[in-house]
Amino acid sequence: MKKYILDLEVVEVSHPHPRYVLIKLTDTKAPLPEMVPGQFAQLRIDGSSTTFLRRPISIHYMDSKTNQLWFLVQTVGDGTRQVAKLKKGDTLNCVLPLGNGFTLPAGKDEKILLVGGGVGCAPLLYMGKWMSEMGCRPTFLIGARSESDLLQLDLFEKYGDVYITTEDGSKGEKGFVTQHSVLKEKKFDRISTCGPSPMMKAVARYATESDVKCEVSLENKMACGVGACLCCVQDTNDGHKCVCTDGPVFDIKELKW
């Protein structure tokens, strides 16, 4: 898939949570290029004296009708805190679309479970939108520490059936995603997951034990995003692979988990 370096205009910035910023962008000169769920972009960080490299951010949502691209960014360091300072009318330089995305449904009847935790939920919203347009209704299983950490549930509910776990029991079922009762009540053909590594490994174990196909979106640290720096290399059953070009989505059978 062809890659682009684009100056995108910020059309809206909101803060749905103290640790997150939602940035909506558009290309004022041309339609946005095609992107598939699970791909990401490398964002240039301007105005920071401590940030020299771009930051990899998942494609959260893309709408060709409005020509908008969304990023949900967790502010964890100088680079992402600088991104959070963007305002309407500013320009954000992006390299996109990068990497390989999730496996899309083979048909309308395929039952797919999308499991997310934290900012890992971001690419699953676009996956849900894509599936909905194909006539598929996915099942979302979202985990968080508490109710206050759950974001955009109304949007997820628009595209699929949403189940929730919280560690403190303030919303949904108490516990971790792999403990939710929906895993016992329903049978799935495929699982796609993104989130903290311990969560994804737990989901992978469940999928293996249940003989369900499963793929994970890895969040290794990246520098270039195009396979040149080897910063994000992952040891797999087929040798070392760059997460930015061979992933970020991998079948769990490829990984030494």
- pLDDT computed for residue 91 by the predictor: 98
Share of the chain above pLDDT 90, in %: 97
Is pLDDT of 1 > 90?
A: no
pTM of the model: 0.97
Residue environment code for 16-44, b if the CB has 16+ CB neighbours within 10 A, otherwise e: ebeebbbbbbbbeeeebeebbbbbbbbbb
How much is the average pLDDT of 63-70?
A: 97
Q: For 27-55, how does the pLDDT look when each residue is reduced to its tens digit (9 = 90+)?
A: 999 999 999 999 999 999 999 889 999 99
Q: CA-to-CA distance for 223 and 196, rounded, in angstroms?
A: 20
- Peptide bond before residue 18 is cis, with ω within 30 degrees of 0: no
Q: For 140-166, how does the pLDDT look when each residue is reduced to its tens digit (9 = 90+)?
A: 999 999 999 999 999 999 999 999 999
Domains for the chain: give ranges and CATH numbers.
4-98 (2.40.30.10), 102-217 (3.40.50.80), 218-257 (2.10.240.10)
Cβ contacts of 242 within 8 Å, gap of 6 or more: 227, 230, 232, 233, 234
- pLDDT computed for residue 190 by the predictor: 97
Q: Specify whether the CB–CB gap between 199 and 71 falls below 8 A.
A: no
The dihedral region occupied by 84, where left means phi > 0, alpha psi between -120 and 50, and beta the remainder, is alpha
Q: Specify whether the CB–CB gap between 113 and 191 falls below 8 A.
A: yes
